[in-house]
Each structure stands twice: as C-alpha cells, then as structure tokens.
Structure 1
Amino acid sequence: MSTTVIPPLEDPVSPYEFPDSRKLHDAAERALDYYLTPAAKIMATPYTPNDMFRVNPQTDTESLLANACESLASATVMLGDFAGLLEGPNRKTLLGIAQVVMLGELAVNQALENVEVKQ
C-alpha cells in the first residue's frame, strides 16, 4: 500500500498573510517592472529627431566640425570638473564618459584636419 502525500492547502511561509498583502505585492511588481525595464520600451521606440533645433544645411563642413570640436571640448572640461567633486565608482563612471567625449573630440579634430578648404 503506497501513501500519497497531499500538500497543505495553505503555504506556511506565504508572504500573503493578509488580504492586502497580494495587492501590495502586485503594486511592487508593477513598480519594479516600470523602473527596471524601461530600456526595452525605449529600444522598441524608433528614434525621431526633434525638429525644434536644426543645423542650417547651408553651413559648410569645416564650420560644423569646428563647432562640434568646441562643444566636445567644453563637455570634456565640464565632465572633468564635475568628476572632481565625486568619489568612488561615480567618479570613475564620469571620468569614463569624459574619456569617450574626448575621443570624439579627437576624431572630429582629425576630420577637421582632413577637410579641404574650398576657396
């Protein structure tokens, strides 16, 4: 004769001790989903540039590159200054971002050197 074990109807360690516990759990799950998985929502949305700010299409390449270089140089300085106010991992993250911006600045500088000035 074999005995079949029947599990109890109630879980002795259930987090849902009270009727409102389930509602609280569901609300917490929704909040976590909202704040921890926004990247999937962002990546699913196609990028559409904002029409508020536009670069004049008649602007020559040399001027565009010079302006981009100045903007990147300013961003590098601002990031460096701000990183000086921080410590630990946040400082390292900011310095890493500053380095990426600086590499962009170097690339734009080289592109500026490669531009042939039209006379």
Structure 2
Amino acid sequence: MDKLIPDPPADAIRVEDLTKDREAIKRAVDFYFTPQPAQAHHPGTMFLVNPSIDPETLLAHAYESLACASAMASNFANELSGLQRSTALAIQQIVMLAELAVNRALDRVDPQA
C-alpha cells in the first residue's frame, strides 16, 4: 500500500524540534530570570490614616496607644503566674521600648527645650 503523504525529511524534523526547544528555553529563562515589573501598591481603605495628618499628631497618637497597651499588659500580667506572667511582662517591656522610641521621635519633631 502506497502512502499518500510522504515522510518529511529527517532534517526538517530536527529543525522543528530545535525550534520548539529554543522556544521552551526562552520561556523558562524569561520566567525565572526576567524581573517582573513592580506592581503599584494600593493600600486597603478599611483602616486608612488620613495622609494630611501631621507627623506630630501621628506620633502623639502612637505614644498614647502604646501607653495603653503597656498598661493593659501590666494589668494582665498581675492576673497570671509563672511562665505566662513572664511572657506578659516581656510583652509589656517590648511595648515600653516602642513607647520610648516614639517618645524620642516626638521630642525631635517638637523639642520641648
């Protein structure tokens, strides 16, 4: 029985395979090594701070929030004992350190000297 369609020459198959390989290699290199353009960051609007508020007001609010958190952690630690008390006091100390940092930044924004 005779074939209606002849077999393609071996060189044509090899060139076609090489072309496919090159395309696959190019896609892989582009995927792993070509940096993607940076996406613009769009902050969520659920808890959005007004961008027109001055830094001094923001720092004062942060200081008050940290002071409240420190007091809550201290009161909570008084109700605990052992390792849990130590953990609550460590959290309170970290909050106090953040409070000191915010206070220092607030002093630099509005020096009281």
TM-score range, shorter chain: 0.5 to 0.7
1:94: how far off? 0.6
Change (3 A) 1:102 1:49: farther
Q: Larger helix proportion, structure 1 or 2? A: 2
Amino acid at match of 2:66: L
Structure 2 partner of 1:86: 80
Q: TM-score, normalised by structure 1?
A: 0.55
Q: TM-score, normalised by structure 2?
A: 0.58
**RMSD over aligned Cα, in angstroms?**
1.8
- 2:88 aligned with 1:108, yes or no? no
State the distance in 2 between where 1:86 and 1:51 align.
38
* Count of matched residue pairs: 70
State the distance in 2 between where 1:115 and 1:71 align.
18
Give 4+ residue runs of structure 1 displaced > 4 Å after superposition: none
Rg comparison, structure with higher value: 2
Q: Which runs of 5+ in 1 are unaligned?
A: 1-47
Correspondent of 1:98 among 92, 95, 112: 92
Q: Which runs of 5+ in 2 are unaligned?
A: 1-41
- 2:59 aligned with 1:65, yes or no? yes
